[in-house]
Each structure stands twice: as structure tokens, then as C-alpha cells.
């Protein structure tokens, strides 16, 4: 299926989704963050068709999220390791986990984050690293950055107008 | 295209993606967070085909992320407003924005979060609401929750084993 790509968009959310937004990709990153590295491990964990898994792994390698490393010459076998960029995606995965636990886990949490020392459940919240203040509106707002295009300026101006009304 | 659904999985990340993981859905939520409400506004912002937009909006309404409200009877016109659940998704969008700015914005940020009072750029970081500590490993870890299935226990046990080795 041919679909419109997001990569002509300058928005960082669209750019991220261009690389990790395909069905399965984020679950592969979840499993990689959980320590899985080998094709058959991902296949078994996800119940995904091999040709699809193969395509998704290649795309994640190309996006610089995973690194392919040969671990056996005979037979030839590769494993897939998170790059630094791939590890940095954990913040998004944690945010998705917290959101899913809050909204789509009627039977209770199946996985959760805890303080490794005390075992106390953690409640993820996004804050500004400098001030420590929670990143909520209206204390914080989204504004055009130095590389903003006309379309971004328009979209955010529309928003300011909507607020004022 | 028929694809395997994630909704039989108990993982909160999979559950979230089941509702917002389709191509376009997160960008629609981004635009809704930015104040867009009407079909033609989303269509123009995203350059998306009307039938696709229609399907995605319906799915987001069904997932409880958007609420459909009639704003004109003649002609009949609906708008789409974020629900509380939809607003709560902002944390994930902010995490994706920060990730995209760090990794996929070679020309600089096109949008960014700033402190509304001072204008200082914010640097989003995920912390534990209670302790204020950054949610990074090994200080925090993912463990099975009360509703964990055997598969979740296996996946996380595999991970602990990988760490110890």
C-alpha cells in the first residue's frame, strides 16, 4: 500500500512518526528495550509474520534506532541492538505505557514502572528539566522554533486565536 | 488491508497503539491539541484524503479520544473536540516532539515548548511524580503489574536474565 509520507513535514512529531509510526515498529522498540535482540525472539513475542518483521527491522536500522550485528557466521545470524537513539525512545514508550495504564487497562496494569530500590510504583509525569515544573498548559506553550515554516506559523497562530476567543 | 490487531495483548503500550497507532491518528490528535476542530481544518493541515480522515476521526471518537458535536443543523456540520482522555494524550505528543527535535531536526526545531511566562525553552524529561526522580534505568524498572499474564512475566523475566548476564 502506497501512502503519503510525513517526511516533507517539518513537525518533530511527524518526523518521529515517519520513522517509528508504522504498525509494529513501536512494539519492536518496546521489545528491544526489554532486552530482546534476535529475529525469532521478536517473532515469538509479537506473533508477527516474518516478512513483515523483516521489513520493520530494516526500517528501524535505517532510521538509526537499531543496529544490526552478526553474532554467528555459520550459520549466518544477525541480532538487533538498540542504538543510543533507540534507547532515547524509552521516554515515548514510558509515556505510552502510563497513558495505556490510565485509560485502557480496565482489569488493572499488566506492566508498570517501579522504583528499583523501594518497589514503589512510579507515576510518570513530564516536567521541564530546568525548572522541574510539570509541562502543562497554560504554564508552557508550543511556539514556532527557529526552523518553523509558514505552515507551522499558521497552525500555531490559529491556535492562539482560538484561545483568545 | 487486514492486519493483526493488538487488542488481545495486555501490554498498555499495545493497548494505546491499538487506539492511536494507525497512520495519521497521532497527527490528528496533535492538530486537535493545537485547537483544530473541523473536518476541513484537519484536511487542510494534514493533506489527507477525505475518506481516510473520516475513518480516522470515527476511530478516535470510538476510542473516546475525540467527541463529535454538531455545530450547525443547516447544513449539518460536526466538529471534533478532545475529550479528557484525548487531552491526556498530550504527554505522549510532547515526548514525541522532544524526541523528534533531538533526533530528526537537522535544520533546527520547527516547533518547541517554552515557559509561557519567561519564554525560556523547556526540556521535557519524564520523572516520577512522587519523588521527582528522572524515570531512567536502573533507578526505575518495568515489572509485571497485578493483571500481568504469563506472557508478560516471561518477557520481563527474559529481560532480568539478560541483565544479569
Summarised one tens digit per residue, pLDDT across range B65-102 is: 999 999 999 999 999 999 999 999 998 999 999 999 99
CB atoms A128 and B124 under 8 Å: yes
The β-bridge relationship of strands B140-144 and B111-115 is unpaired
Chain A residues 65-84 with a CB less than 8 Å from chain B = none
Q: Suggest the residue from B52, B116, B142, B156 to mutate for an interface test with chain A (most A CBs closer than 10 A).
A: B142
Cβ neighbours of B6 in A, within 8 Å: 27
Res B163: pLDDT: 56
What's the average model confidence in pLDDT over B39-52? 94
- Give mean pLDDT in consecutive 10-residue pieces for chain A, a chain of 165 residues: 64 92 94 93 93 96 97 93 95 92 91 92 90 88 89 77 57
CB B104 within 8 A of CB A19: yes
Per-residue pLDDT at B162: 61
Across the interface, of B94, B112, B144, the residue whose CB is closest to A126 is B94
Q: How far apart are CA B103 and CA B106, in angstroms?
A: 8
Tell me which chain A residues have a C-beta less than 8 angstroms from the C-beta of B145: 101, 108-112
Element of type H or E holding A151: helix A150-164
Query: How high is the pLDDT of residue A156?
Result: 79
Q: Which of A126, A141, A147 sits opposite B91 (nearest CB)?
A: A126
pLDDT for B43 beyond 60: yes
Q: Residue B152: its pLDDT value, please?
A: 82
Q: Please answer yes or no on whether A111 and B143 come within 8 Å at the CB atom.
A: yes
**Minimal CA separation from B51 to chain A, in Å:** 14
Tell me which chain B residues have a C-beta less than 8 angstroms from the C-beta of A155. 31, 34, 36, 45
Checking ipTM against 0.85, whether it exceeds it is yes
pLDDT at B61 over 50: yes
Alpha helices in chain B (DSSP H): 12-20, 25-33, 39-46, 50-62, 84-88, 90-103, 150-164
Over residues B27-55, the mean pLDDT reads: 94
Identify the bridge partners of residue A66 per DSSP, sorted by sequence position. Answer: A82
* Run of H or E residues at A80: strand A77-82
Chain-centre distance for alpha carbon B61: 15
Number of cross-chain residue pairs from A and B with Cβ atoms under 8 Å apart: 318
Phi, then psi, of B143 in degrees rounded to 5: -130, 160
Q: Distance, in angstroms, between B158 CA and closest chain A CA?
A: 7
Task: State the SS3 of A58-122.
Answer: HHHHHCCCEEEEEEECCCCEEEEEECHHHHHCHHHHHHHHHHHHHHCCCCCCCEEEEECCCCCEC
d(CA B109, CA B123): 12
Q: Considering only the beta carbons, identify the residue of B45, B91, B136 that sits closest to A95.
A: B91
CB of B61 less than 8 A from some CB of A:
no
Name residue A125's beta-bridge partners: B127
The alpha carbon of residue B73 is apart from the nearest alpha carbon of chain A, in Å, by: 22
How far apart CA B27 and CA B46 sit, in angstroms, is 8
Amino acid at each position: 500500500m502506497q501512502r503519503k509520507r510525513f517526511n516533507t513535514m517539518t513537525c518533530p512529531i511527524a518526523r518521529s512518526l515517519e520513522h517509528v509510526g508504522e504498525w509494529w515498529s513501536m512494539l519492536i522498540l518496546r521489545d528491544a528495550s526489554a532486552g530482546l535482540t534476535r529475529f525469532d525472539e521478536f517473532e515469538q513475542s509479537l506473533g508477527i509474520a516474518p516478512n513483515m518483521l523483516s521489513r520493520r527491522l530494516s526500517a528501524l536500522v535505517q532510521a538509526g534506532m537499531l543496529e544490526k550485528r552478526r553474532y554467528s557466521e555459520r550459520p549466518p545470524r544477525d541480532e538487533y541492538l538498540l542504538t543510543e537513539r533507540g534507547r532515547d525512545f524509552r521516554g515515548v514508550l514510558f509515556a505510552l505505557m502510563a497513558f495505556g495504564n490510565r485509560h485502557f487497562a480496565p482489569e488493572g496494569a499488566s506492566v508498570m514502572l517501579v522504583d528499583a530500590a523501594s518497589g514503589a510504583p512510579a507515576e510518570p509525569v513530564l516536567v521541564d528539566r530546568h525548572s522541574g515544573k510539570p509541562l502543562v498548559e497554560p504554564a508552557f506553550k508550543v511556539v514556532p522554533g527557529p526552523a518553523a515554516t509558514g505552515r507551522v506559523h499558521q497552525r500555531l497562530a490559529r491556535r492562539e486565536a482560538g484561545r483568545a476567543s
